[in-house]
């Protein structure tokens, strides 16, 4: 079989994690090839960014493009009770710099991901679309590249000192290596669609994310986008969503719309567009962050329940951190998996901090308001973690929250396999 060894790094997937790692590595002068199964632009869910996405976007040189884009600006988040009562929006500029971190975006992922691919190409990355990675090539326990098939059926091998897996929550490498583990508790189901011309808030609140509650700790996301559409989806336990034997996605969705007065009112002015989507593959983690010759990125490493919109931030962060770590390995010619231990530990810390808040959120009796009423000085800590400042010591916050709800032990995952 034909084989090509002309790249320093091969990357599976052109999502945010893959293209950010590629952009950093090309910036360091390495020859990078990204392999993407689909033809871009392609659909993706995951449209709401959070404030601390700013730093990786800045490092990638994408802030000017984001500021010049038509993406809906997002300044706040608010919460709505089932009876329609809406909390005061929480404005990020009450805590962060108005011109940088405090202003983030709601993106159409087809366009955002295309922008990232274009940007990577401008920085010298080669991106091949409609090329599927079939398998990892291994020699003496080391990943030495991949076998791919192009759309026209041509199959060939690519070899490089490092392969990065940014394949998203399908988790190409972790699935095939048997490293993938479910989160013991966070196994929710999401059903979502789009509405055109529905009601939205005005002025600075136009781009606010609204989290609207339904019974049993279920919740809607309501994400206004720039094209007169809103992305709207419901997340809850599968048993709750399908109660009474309801299986049809539209029927599930419409029934939950009836459970929240604000969602019902806002959607009633608009028209539902396109298909209803469903996913139940929630919250999976890889036991290892890599092995000799291989490193995992973004969702392929860990996928967390989307309630706090942390996925793209974590994907970009992982891409940037991995890009720098792999650059150092390439320069030194030392690919010992140990050198990626810090990378794995940093991402695990970020995922675990967010995961604790997600667990608390789903606890039937827990409310952030109760914690803040008793410990007002914890409001800032909660805000920082929810905004994506996830690599900090939050031990005081956890000990306070544990008075209200049990928190999960950190999962002992994410070290490299030697």
Binding residues for ligand FAD, rule: CB under 6 A, are 12-18, 35-38, 44-48, 132-133, 166-168, 170, 172, 190, 279, 298-300, 306, 309, 311-313, 315
| Minimum gap (Å) between residue 98 Cβ and ligand FAD | 22
> Residue 219 and residue 82: Cα distance in Å, rounded?
9
For ligand FAD, the closer of residues 242 and 370 by Cβ is 242
CA-wise closest residue to 281 among 363, 146, 407, 175: 175
Listed residue (39, 207, 46) closest to 128, CA to CA: 39
Beta carbon nearer to ligand FAD, 15 or 416: 15
Under DSSP, the state recorded for 244 is: G
Question: Cα-atom radius of gyration of the chain, to the nearest Å?
Answer: 21
Contacts of 254 (CB under 8 A, 6+ apart): none
Comparison of 132 and 349: residue with beta carbon closer to ligand FAD: 132
The CB-of-42 to ligand FAD minimum distance in angstroms stands at: 6
Place of tokens 């539902």: 272
Residue position matching structure tokens 């329609």:
84
Name the minimum Å distance from CB 368 to ligand FAD: 19
Query: Among residues 169 and 400, whose Cβ is nearest to ligand FAD?
Result: 169
Taking the least distance from each CB to ligand FAD, the nearer of 12 and 401 is 12
In Å, the largest CA–CA distance within the chain is 66
Q: Which is nearer to ligand FAD, 183 or 299 (CB)?
A: 299
The CA distances from residue 46 to 8, 49, 186, 221, in Å, are 30, 8, 18, 11
Closer by beta carbon to ligand FAD, 89 or else 168: 168
Report the C-alpha gap between 371 and 407 in whole angstroms. 14
- Distance of closest approach, residue 32 Cβ to ligand FAD, in angstroms: 15
**Phi, psi of 14, rounded to the nearest 5 degrees:** -110, 35
Q: How far is the CB of 396 from ligand FAD (least distance, A)?
A: 27
The nearest distance, CB 185 to ligand FAD, in angstroms, is 17
Per-position DSSP letters for 79-114, written without gaps between them: EE-TTS-BPPPEEGGGTS-TTTTT-EEE--HHHHHH
Minimum distance, C-beta of residue 370 to ligand FAD, in the bound complex (Å)? 26
């Amino acid at each position: 079989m034909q084989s090509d060894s002309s790249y320093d790094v091969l990357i599976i997937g052109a999502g945010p994690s893959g293209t950010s790692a590629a952009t950093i590595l090309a910036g360091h002068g390495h020859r990078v090839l990204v392999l993407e199964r689909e033809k871009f632009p392609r659909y993706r869910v995951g449209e709401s960014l959070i404030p601390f996405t700013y730093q990786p976007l800045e490092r990638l040189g994408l802030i000017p493009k984001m500021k010049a884009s038509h993406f809906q600006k997002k300044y706040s988040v608010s919460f709505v009770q089932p009876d329609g009562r809406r909390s005061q929006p929480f404005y990020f500029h009450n805590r962060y710099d108005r011109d940088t971190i405090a202003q983030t975006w709601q993106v159409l992922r087809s366009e955002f991901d295309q922008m990232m691919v274009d940007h990577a190409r401008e920085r010298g990355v080669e991106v091949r679309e409609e090329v599927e990675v079939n398998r990892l090539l291994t020699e003496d326990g080391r990943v030495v590249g991949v076998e791919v098939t192009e759309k026209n059926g041509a199959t060939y091998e690519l070899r490089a000192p490092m392969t990065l897996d940014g394949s998203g929550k399908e988790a190409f490498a972790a699935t095939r290596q048997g490293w993938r583990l479910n989160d013991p508790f966070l196994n929710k189901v999401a059903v979502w669609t789009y509405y055109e011309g529905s009601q939205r808030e005005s002025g600075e609140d136009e781009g606010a994310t609204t989290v609207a509650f339904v019974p049993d700790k279920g919740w809607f996301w309501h994400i206004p986008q720039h094209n007169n559409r809103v992305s709207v989806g419901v997340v809850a336990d599968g048993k709750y969503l399908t109660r009474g034997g309801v299986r049809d996605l539209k029927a599930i969705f419409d029934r939950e719309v009836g459970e929240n007065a604000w969602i019902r009112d806002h959607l009633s002015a608009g028209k539902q567009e396109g298909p209803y989507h469903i996913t139940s593959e929630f919250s999976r983690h890889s036991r290892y962050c890599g092995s000799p010759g291989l490193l995992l990125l973004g969702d392929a490493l860990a996928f967390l329940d989307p309630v706090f919109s942390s996925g793209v931030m974590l994907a970009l962060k992982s891409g940037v951190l991995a890009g720098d770590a792999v650059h150092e390995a390439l320069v030194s010619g030392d690919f010992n998996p140990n050198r990626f231990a810090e990378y794995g530990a940093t991402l695990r810390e970020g995922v675990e901090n967010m995961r604790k808040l997600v667990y608390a959120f789903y606890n039937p009796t827990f409310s952030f308001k109760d914690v803040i009423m008793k410990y007002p000085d914890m409001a800032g800590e909660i805000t920082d973690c929810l905004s994506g400042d996830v690599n900090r010591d939050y031990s005081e916050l956890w000990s306070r929250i544990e008075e209200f709800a049990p928190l999960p032990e950190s999962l002992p995952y994410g070290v490299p396999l030697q």
